[in-house]
Every structure is written in C-alpha cells, then in structure tokens.
Amino acid sequence: MNDVNTMRAISQDVLGGPEVLREVTLERPEPRPNEVLVRVRAAGVNPTDWKHRATGGFLGEPPFVLGWDVSGVVEATGVGVALFQPGDEVFGMLPYPFGHGSHAEYVTAPARAFTHKPAGIDHVQAGALPLVSLTAWQALVERAGLRPGQRVLIHAAAGGVGHVAVQIAKAHGAYVIGTASAGKHDFLREIGVDEAIDYRTTDFAEAVRDVDVVLDTLGGDTSVRSLRVLRPGGIVVSILPVGSEEFHQEAERLGVRAMRMLVDADHHGMRAIADLVETGRLRATIAGTFPLAEAAKAHELGDTGRTTGKLVLLVD
C-alpha cells in the first residue's frame, strides 16, 4: 500500500515497444500556485502516447510518465486557485506536449487545463474525451472556422480524433464525409457521417469534390492530396505538426489554405466540449479499458492502428 507521499505511475527507462512500460512508485507531486493536484480516476491513451514511447518525440530521452488525458477529483489546490476546490470532479488535457504525466495516480497541472466533469458521464467517458476533442475543436471550429452547411472531409473518421471530429462537425451543422475501411461504415453512419468512403477501394481525391474543410489525421501524401478536393479558399488542417514543404506550396498553387497545428490545453475549449457532452451531441466510443498496471496491453492494441474510438486506463 502506498503512503500518502508516493504514488503508482507507468514509466519507462528506454524507448521501444509496449514491453518497456513498467509500474513504478514515485513521489506524489504538490500543486504550485495556480495549479491543482488531481487524483486520476481515468486517463485516455492516444497515438501520441505510443509514438512518444517508441521515439521520444518532443520529450526526448526517458525516463518519463506519459499521458495527457485526465478525468479525476481535485485533491488539493495551489495558492490562488479560484476555479475549483477539493472534491470537485474535473476533466481536461494536460498542457501538450510538456505537461505529460496522467498515467499515474496523481497529477498536477494549471487549474485552467480543466473544467468540471459533466455529471451525466462517468470518469471513463470523461477520461477518453479531452485530447481528441480539443484537437478536433481547435482544428474545425477555431482554425477552420466551420459554419453550418459546409462540406467537411474527415480522414480516419472511426479513429480517436476522427469519431469525435465527426460529432463536433455535425453539431455545427456540417455535411460530413468520412474515410474508413468498409467494416467501419455502419459505425460511421451511427455517429452521423453523411457519406462514407472506403479508403482501401476508393481514392478520396477522385471521389470527393467541393469540400470546405479537410481534417487530416494521417499526414504524408494524404495532406497534399487532400488539397485537391477543396473548393477555392477551402482549408486542410493537419494535426501532424511536421511534414513536407510541398503541402504549403501546393496550397498556394491551388488557391486554397494549408495549416498544421498541435493541440493546446484550453479551459474555454474544454467548456465547449462539456457543453456538447451535456446536450447529448458528443460521446466517446470506448475501444477498451485497462487497469493502470496493464498500460502495456493498451499500447499493444493501440500499436495495431485498428481500434475504433478510444483506449482508457483505469486508475483506482
């Protein structure tokens, strides 16, 4: 049993496959001014987690504790925090990328990374939503300025970001085209996709025209080819922050816009997401849940690239 000054966490000492993840005992953090200490109840696992595990990504060399999604209970508040008090149920995304660490029993973060968890959902649902929802919200609503009646193409529409982006786009009155393998098309229709494309048999760049907004979750040549389905002045927002300069050059040639972005922790965005949840317009599909100690199993499943929806760690 842990004492009050320590906590369990999932860490790694080397880069590699899921087998490098291990449970460790760490010192429990203390909230600094304007921070809250949250007892984590559930934490989503995202592609960025398994990429950082394997390559180090923005974080460099381990050891480190991964995880950006959090749903939990405020345990303590730092000096100056007026948003929350101990006992409040909250959910949010830790500042990306350097605020990582939610795959643990406790985490500290700026109070404004969180908002109150909607009472109508459990911690698993709340722990699945923040990173993917903020990514989709910031891409579609803030960056692309999505408006009712616009045509939106969402790549990998059954994935973590994709299936949430579909719901956010529909909530904003868009006509949504989504790509996924044929076996996932029934799921796409259930979440509101108007037109489903099987990327294995159909070239989206040939099949789709006059799109206002493309959400590119794949990168590579998909980014560049997506520009060709846009109407003049349309935009491709790629959530892959680096890639070839051809993306921007081709956009200029075609008279359309190309943008790359990284998700950013945001209280206003989390409030908007909570509102969509509370009004029944947004829900995460849970692909699987795992106890904290079995984080490696969640990573193994994530590595396949075939999951529908979100993987979540349960921290109890």
Would you list the DSSP string of 29-89? P---TTEEEEEEEEEEE-HHHHHHHHH-GGG-SSPEE---EEEEEEEEE-TT--S--TT-E
Same domain, yes or no: 153 and 203: yes
Cross-strand partners of 230: 211
* pLDDT reading at 237 higher than 70: yes
Residue 266 in any domain: the answer is no
Share of the chain above pLDDT 70, in %: 99
In 104-220, alpha helices (H): 123-128, 130-137, 160-171, 185-190, 204-207
Same domain, yes or no: 123 and 160: no
Same domain, yes or no: 14 and 63: yes
Residue 275 in any domain: the answer is no
Cross-strand partners of 312: 44, 289
Residue 279 in any domain: the answer is no
Residue 256 in any domain: the answer is yes
Banded model confidence at residue 3, pLDDT cuts 50, 70, 90: confident
Same domain, yes or no: 118 and 193: no
Domain that holds residue 124: 6-129+284-314
pLDDT in tens, 263-287: 999 999 999 999 999 999 999 999 9
Same domain, yes or no: 120 and 217: no
What is the domain-level CATH number for residue 169?
3.40.50.720
* pLDDT reading at 186 higher than 90: yes
Q: Structural domain tally of the chain?
A: 2
In this prediction, residue 49 carries a pLDDT of: 98
Same domain, yes or no: 197 and 117: no
Q: Contact 101/255 with Cβ under 8 angstroms?
A: no
Residue 12 in any domain: the answer is yes
Residue 278 in any domain: the answer is no
pLDDT in tens, 92-139: 999 999 999 999 999 999 999 999 999 999 999 999 999 999 999 999
What is the domain-level CATH number for residue 29?
3.90.180.10
Class of residue 60 by CB neighbours under 10 A (exposed 0-12, middle 13-18, buried 19+): exposed
Same domain, yes or no: 145 and 205: yes
Same domain, yes or no: 51 and 143: no
Same domain, yes or no: 206 and 172: yes
In this prediction, residue 123 carries a pLDDT of: 98
Task: Indicate the pTM of the whole model.
Answer: 0.97
Same domain, yes or no: 168 and 81: no
Same domain, yes or no: 72 and 152: no
